[in-house]
Structure 1
């Protein structure tokens, strides 16, 4: 079984990166779920900045001036609209979590450790599991030469310590060991700290799109695709 090079330097770091164990199951799933859902707050803030949302809320405020509803009902309508936007933003993330927990995160060992080209690692600090990351062959064209980075999450109390970068490097090393040409991933516009970190590490954005569904378009739920090219020495040196 392939082991991350981070294990060679455990005495020099406040954390270690190691292969997933069955005893990590509950904590790993919770880390993933919490890390995803927390992005709903930023997604809601982004939604409030959209022009069509401003038009909607403004129209609700102007209803009393048109003698269509009372001021009280107008305020209630605005409050309900804001609540709907909040729950709508949150739903996009909770639904993704629900699907993932019943898909690849349902049986982590079987999905990631018992299949060729797959891997799952955790970060441990002081005996506590504080981060996760996974790798698998990309399902996109040329996927046999690309490794996809997934399930990257770090506990709030342990961010800013280089753990997320170490987990990313683990996947990059894994891909390099397998002779792959690139590491790819997708994130969302609302995951600001994540895509900023990827860009600092040398990932380049290759695409940005909104899934073809009204709810995604209405909330401007944008997905960002990134790639780290292992064939470019100037990029690999940045890690």
Structure 2
């Protein structure tokens, strides 16, 4: 028997819902940085900086400072990628969750509760992507680190899919980043398929290889 249940969002959930969303995105900074450091286009410039002292172009100290500065810049770029996204959402749909998701047709917001505490969130919104007529977008999926591995994320996704099915929608779509491997594995197991990937038109996305992956789940027609 599960030790959690899923219900509609209430105004008293506001603070924790925003905290879950913020912390869920913040933890990806380290993953994005590590992914960037593994890219083949990152290492030649760093190695070149280390060779410069041997060519008497700069001092060894200057070379080390330059390499450290470049690495710190990559970390900052990865952090800023998620921070700017969270900040934008806090000023948009996460600013007034009730008004945006519960007081507009075709939208909804749920939380997972365990032991009297909110430990997960998920939202549904009409898709704004091209070709997304009669599609619903899965958004704001977050689960507390202390409650992962209990099937909460899957249960939240099923709740959202059922919402879309009952509204007669054809598909559920979502976007996630390349570095969110655990989420991608779950989407694959649930029947979502990767349709394409792209870079957002923001600074440093290609430098970091910060790809956005687009998934779609086609809702089976009722017999």
Instruction: For residues 35-64 of structure 1, give each alpha carbon's deviation from its aligned partner in whole angstroms, at most 9, with x where no partner exists.
Output: 011111110001001111111111111111
> Which residue, 124, 127, 137 being the options, matches 1:148?
137
Which segments of 5 or more consecutive residues in structure 1 lack a partner in the other structure?
1-11, 234-239
| Partners of 1:88 and 1:141 in 2: CA distance | 29
2:93 is the alignment partner of 1:109: no
| Partners of 1:214 and 1:105 in 2: CA distance | 24
Quote the offset at 1:217 in angstroms: 1.2
1:16 paired residue number: 5
1:91 paired residue number: 80
2:155 paired residue number: 166
2:123 paired residue number: 134
Quote the offset at 1:68 in angstroms: 1.2
Quote the offset at 1:142 in angstroms: 4.1
| Comparing 140-149 and 200-209, the one that deviates more | 140-149
Equivalenced residues, count:
222
Greater RCO, CA 8 A, separation 6+: 2
TM-score norm. by structure 2 comes to 0.96
2:21 is the alignment partner of 1:32: yes
Q: CA RMSD in A?
A: 1.2
| Partners of 2:57 and 2:220 in 1: CA distance | 64
2:214 paired residue number: 225
The SS at the match of 2:76 is helix
Which segments of 5 or more consecutive residues in structure 2 lack a partner in the other structure?
none
The 5 A counterparts of 1:170-209 are 170-209=159-198
Cα–Cα, structure 1 residues 51 and 142, in superposed 2: closer, same or farther, change >3 Å?
closer
Quote the offset at 1:188 in angstroms: 0.4
2:53 is the alignment partner of 1:67: no
**Runs of at least 4 residues off by over 2 Å:** 141-144
2:30 is the alignment partner of 1:41: yes
Instruction: For residues 171-208 of structure 1, give each alpha carbon's deviation from its aligned partner in whole angstroms, at most 9, with x where no partner exists.
Output: 10000010111000000001111111101111000111
Quote the offset at 1:98 in angstroms: 0.3
> Which residue, 33, 39, 45 being the options, matches 1:50?
39
1:81 paired residue number: 70
